[in-house]
Every structure is written in structure tokens, then in C-alpha cells.
Amino acid sequence: MQRMMLGGTAALLLSVAWLVRPACGAEALPTDYELVSHTDATLAAWWLKPEEKRFDEIGWVDGLIAARRLSAERGRPLFLFTMDGRVNTGRC
């Protein structure tokens, strides 16, 4: 989570620095497309890779009834996780 936050912050700072650069005597402002592609590339380099997001490998179900049915079918325990927020962002 810390790496993801750091990556987003770094991408934002790099994008701002890229925009401010012309005021310091450099060439003209970048086009919208250039700015978006530069920011996307920076975020892609810092964003978590699929192998770093083990949380996404969990077989989640969206309801208690489906979870109980799967638990009974497979003879496995049921783990109940409740939260308020967006857990896939790392913030519950």
C-alpha cells in the first residue's frame, strides 16, 4: 500500500514538474495527450504488479448464502470478512 501511495505521489509530482518546466525557460507546454501518456507511463511503472497483489487471488463471493453453500460443498471453513470502504485500495 505504501508503495502504491508513493507511486501516485511521485507520478503527480513528476507531472507537475513536467508542466512547470516551460516556465523555467524550456520548450512549450506539452499537449494533453503527451501529459496523459507521460502520467500513465509513470503510474504503470510504480503501480503494483499482479504478482504483488495476492489479495486479488482470493475467491471472494458477494453474499453469505453463496459463501455458506460453497463452504458446505467443499467441506471448508467459512471466513466472514465485513468492511466499510474499498478494500482493494488497501483502505478499509
Q: What is the 3-state secondary structure (H, E, C) of the chain?
A: CHHHHHHHHHHHHHHHHHHHHHHHCCCCCCCHHHHHHHHHHHHHHHCCCHHHCHHHHCCCCCCHHHHHHHHHHHCCCCCCCCCCCEHHHCEC
The number of folded domains in the chain is 1
**Residue 24 within a domain:** yes
**Residue 90 within a domain:** no
**Residue 32 within a domain:** yes
pLDDT, residue 4, reads 54
pLDDT band per the 50, 70, 90 thresholds, residue 22: low
Q: By residue range, what is the domain housing residue 63? A: 2-85
Chain segment 37-54, per-residue pLDDT in tens: 999 999 888 888 888 888
Q: Is the pLDDT of residue 70 over 60?
A: yes
Q: Are the C-beta atoms of residues 8 and 16 closer than 8 Å to each other?
A: no
**Residue 30 within a domain:** yes
